[in-house]
A and B are shown apart, each in its own frame.
Chain A
Amino acid sequence: MVKGCIPLMLTLGLLHAQPAAAEIRGIYHPYVNQGERELEYQLLWRGPDDQPDTLQQLSFGYAWTDRFATEIYLLAESVHQQGRRSRGYEVEAIWQLTEQGEYWADWGLLVELESDDQGKERELGVSVLMEKQLGRRWVGTLNAQLEYEFGDDTDNEFETGLRAQLRYLHKPTLEPAVDLYLDDQDYALGPTLIGAVRLSPGRQLRWELGVPIGLKSRTPDLGLRFAVELEF
């Protein structure tokens, strides 16, 4: 997910009760590399305000074909001042729909199914993934999401979201980017640094460090997102 080379993902994990923080978990790219395995840890801290919030997730992914991959996530969230902790699980699936560079833009599809550990709040989301190389050095990515929330502890309703990233291909170890997150709870924009370090043939470590800045009152003013992924 750090780089996003997984077209179909299957995610199973521990999920927080309030999905706000979970929406800022990086940008998906519409590509899959057959046989690739990914082990990822991600930390998202949101604050400072009266309710700083931490989300952690651990995921494992595998690309079954050159169009389809699966991934397993474990997630846990804690809201510090309330002392509240919550967990849940999620299933995601991504399909690579077109070959990179074949058409005007590259396309993929992401399906996400989330539930808290009590099964009282669930979300089913479908996202269209688009990526377009802009000249030799810039890459633009869009994730447009339609989501349905349902369960005993939530209103059954549809929601929409948009994630976007503009990335500069500086060098493999360091790519600056700007990430944008828009959904029913968050309007956030901020810089992100992305990099990859090759460890051995067929094995590399990818990382991301982002600072999402809230653009409206309901969104925390400042956040910090860190992800590290072993690809093998």
Chain B
Amino acid sequence: MRFRACCWLLGMSVSTTTLAATPVFEIDIRDHLFEPAELVIPADTKVKLLVHNLDATPEEFESYELNREKVIMGGTTATIYIGPLPPGVYPYFGEFNPKTAQGIIRVQQGER
């Protein structure tokens, strides 16, 4: 019983530390556009990106530069982990509406 309690406490501790250490950023998909179209995140830091698809139709967040590909069904939110990345500009687009759904992740030193 004491062992289980220790494991639980350890698990909670690790989980809380991880959550606290991962900055969260949010992007909306509305009318097949990403909002904001440019997002600035800190360099050398893993971030958690919450992408809310406010449209009724699915969209796919895709970026070869970020090595990410994630379908977000209409009216749902997807979680995408990015980084740690060196400073630079990382484009992404919506696979289902590539002409309108475009954005960039700008990675900068010291940004938060």
B58 CB within 8 Å of chain A? yes
- A117 interface residue per 8 A CB criterion: no
Q: A interface, by DSSP: helix, strand, loop or mixed?
A: loop
Contact A202 B81 (CB under 8 A): no
In contact, A35 and B58 (Cβ under 8 angstroms): yes
Residue of B58, B67, B82, B96 touching A139 (CB-CB under 8 A): B67
Residue contact A35 to B71, C-beta cutoff 8 Å: yes
Report whether A33 and B60 are in contact in the complex, using a CB–CB cutoff of 8 Å: yes
Which chain A residues in 1-60 approach chain B with CB under 8 Å?
5, 31, 33-36
B81 engages A101 (CB within 8 Å): yes
Inter-chain CA distance A65–B102, complex, in Å, is: 25
A152 within 8 A of B: no
Q: State the interface size on chain B (CB cutoff 8 A).
A: 22
Of B58, B78, B81, the most chain A CB neighbours within 10 A belong to B81
Please tell me if the beta carbons of B98 and A201 are within 8 angstroms of each other in the complex.
yes
Q: Are B70's CB and A33's CB within 8 A? A: yes
Name the interface size band of chain A: 10 to 19
Q: Which residue of B lies closest to A65 (CB)?
A: B73
Those of A85-141 within 8 Å (CB) of chain B: 99-102, 133, 136, 139
Interface residues of B in 86-103 (CB under 8 A from A): 86, 95-98
The answer to whether the Cβ of B80 comes within 8 Å of any Cβ in the partner chain is yes
A172 and B64 within 8 A (CB): yes
Mostly, the B contact residues are: loop
A201 to B98, CA, bound (A): 7
Contacts A35-B58, A35-B71, A101-B46 given; does A66 touch B78 at CB 8 Å: yes
Choice from B67, B86, B96 contacting A201 with Cβ under 8 Å: B96
A12 to B98, CA, bound (A): 34
Chain A, residue nearest B86 (CB): A136
Please tell me which one of the listed residues B68, B73, B85, B86 contacts residue A100 in the complex, with CB atoms under 8 A apart. Answer: B68
Tell me the B19-64 residues at the A interface (CB within 8 Å): 46, 58, 60, 64
A-B contact pairs, 26 of them (CB 8 A): A5-B69, A33-B69, A34-B58, A34-B71, A34-B73, A35-B71, A35-B73, A36-B71, A66-B70, A66-B78, A99-B80, A99-B81, A100-B67, A100-B70, A100-B81, A101-B46, A101-B68, A101-B80, A133-B67, A136-B85, A136-B86, A169-B64, A171-B64, A202-B60, A202-B95, A202-B96
New A-B pairs, 14, CB < 8 Å, besides A100-B68, A201-B98: A33-B60, A33-B69, A34-B71, A35-B58, A36-B71, A66-B71, A66-B78, A100-B81, A101-B68, A101-B82, A171-B64, A172-B64, A201-B96, A201-B97
